Amino acid sequence: MTWSQAVAEGPLGDAHAQLAAAVGHLGYDDGTHQMLATPRREMQVAVPLRREDGSTAVYSGYRVQHNFSRGPAKGGLRFAPNVDLDEVRALAMWMTWKCALLDVPYGGAKGGVAIDPRAHTTLELERVTRRYTSEILPIIGPEVDIPAPDMGTNEQTMAWIMDTYSAAMGHTVPGVVTGKPIALGGSLGRAAATSRGVAHIALLAMEAQGFKASHASAAVQGFGKVGRDAARFLDDAGVAVRAVSDIDGAVFNKEGLDIFALAKHVDATGTVVGFEGSEPIDPAELLTLDVDVLVPAALEGVLTGANAGAVQARIVVEGANGPTTKEADQILTDRGVLMVPDILANAGGVVVSYFEWVQANMAFQWSEQEVNSRLKERMTKAWRDVVAFAGDRSLTYREAATILAVQRVTEAHRLRGLYP
């Protein structure tokens, strides 16, 4: 294989390394590798904002559409101060593999604005969202690219995008985004779908490793869009969630935290810090606690070569995108830790986003029970596919998941052929 692409360190480097390993295993040629590695479309935009104090700020916005071979592009939109183009490229690539692995008829995309939402008012965030939407409007749409919530964004953000896009089209277009409010055509069960999928896969991984949920323990990094409900679902299944963290700190109880009470505390105070019935710990310590299952559900690159050797969990279930660096993944795998990759573990969100899109196209709504049942069926099938593929070829679950996904995307590409 002679084609290569120089990339920076970080998530994009890890994403390219994973792809290169899959391509090598599958024996694909240089041109196929280049096609799989190169985003089909990228857009970088300036997002000016008139702040409420009368000043003007300008933020950088991005949208990367990695692949269209299996269908329209799909991926979240994040508002975070450190968002950059390479991060968005990596996340878009991982979305391509995630959709293929779960057999969802989408390609991968991702978007971001380099802004700290906690430092802005709701009105300012609305202005940023609408301006960003107007800038990327030519490349999104229900049959082109469908954004969804991610870090720093929510169903209200999606409502603003839908309204801005619909105003430009001259009619209401519910299918342009997913993760919308229920009142605007959102799907029942969507808000907790990623968390539900993480918990479901974690329980399957525990079962495979011989753990009973009622005798197992877990630590969850992040108590936001993914971690909060993942902790709740694990707690409901009988798992003792000993520690959780957020951007402000971390709390611990050896016997297991009262997740319901913790959620009420966070609603009242905005943070896990100070929760009665817990003791504070260093957030970095959470990753190395003596627990059966570790769920990193916050940021990329939190498990590194520096801390992987101290991880005591027997199972790591990646609730976040790319939480484990390449070096850390090798260390943990060599130590016998079962690594459940993000493209499998946190795929519940895109699965129910697909269900929401289908419902929008049908102008019909499924019951929450039906949505959750269909989600469980998809996640379970993907888990079994990965386990079987890995077992037949002596691969790790990350290798198996990536190879399966890359194989499916390449098959679709080859069947479609190259436009002359």
Identify whether 2 is part of a domain.
no
- Beta carbons of 356 and 190 less than 8 angstroms apart: yes
Q: Residue 7: its pLDDT value, please?
A: 55
Identify whether 178 is part of a domain.
no
Identify whether 167 is part of a domain.
yes
Co-location of 158 and 51 in the same domain: yes
Co-location of 204 and 273 in the same domain: yes
Q: Tell which of 122, 141, 172 closes a domain.
A: 172
Co-location of 45 and 82 in the same domain: yes
Co-location of 167 and 113 in the same domain: yes
Identify whether 276 is part of a domain.
yes
Co-location of 151 and 259 in the same domain: no
Co-location of 202 and 331 in the same domain: yes
Instruction: Indicate whether this model's pTM tops 0.95.
Output: no
Co-location of 218 and 111 in the same domain: no
Q: Tell which of 172, 206, 239 closes a domain.
A: 172
Burial class (CB in 10 A: 0-12, 13-18, 19+), 142: middle
In whole angstroms, give the CA distance from residue 159 to residue 126. Answer: 10
Co-location of 313 and 214 in the same domain: yes
Identify whether 361 is part of a domain.
no
In whole angstroms, give the CA distance from residue 194 to residue 348. Answer: 4
In whole angstroms, give the CA distance from residue 65 to residue 57. Answer: 27
Identify whether 18 is part of a domain.
no
Co-location of 224 and 331 in the same domain: yes
In whole angstroms, give the CA distance from residue 174 to residue 326. Answer: 39
Co-location of 136 and 263 in the same domain: no
Q: Is 98 marked active-site? A: no
CATH of the domain at 325: 3.40.50.720
In whole angstroms, give the CA distance from residue 228 to residue 285. Answer: 19
Q: Tell which of 340, 374, 399 closes a domain.
A: 340
Q: What tens-digit pLDDT sequence spans the chain (420 residues)?
A: 455 555 567 889 989 999 999 999 999 999 999 999 999 999 999 999 999 999 999 999 999 999 999 999 999 999 999 999 999 999 999 999 999 999 999 999 999 999 999 999 999 999 999 999 999 999 999 999 999 999 999 999 999 999 999 999 999 999 999 999 999 999 999 999 999 999 999 999 999 999 999 999 999 999 998 999 999 999 999 999 999 999 999 999 999 999 999 999 999 999 999 999 899 999 999 999 999 999 999 988 999 999 999 999 999 999 998 899 999 999 999 999 999 999 999 999 999 999 999 999 888 999 999 999 999 999 999 999 999 999 989 999 999 999 999 999 999 999 999 877
CATH of the domain at 77: 3.40.50.10860
Residues spanned by the domain of 112? 39-172
Catalytic residue selected from 74, 110, 180, 326:
110
Total number of domains in the chain: 2
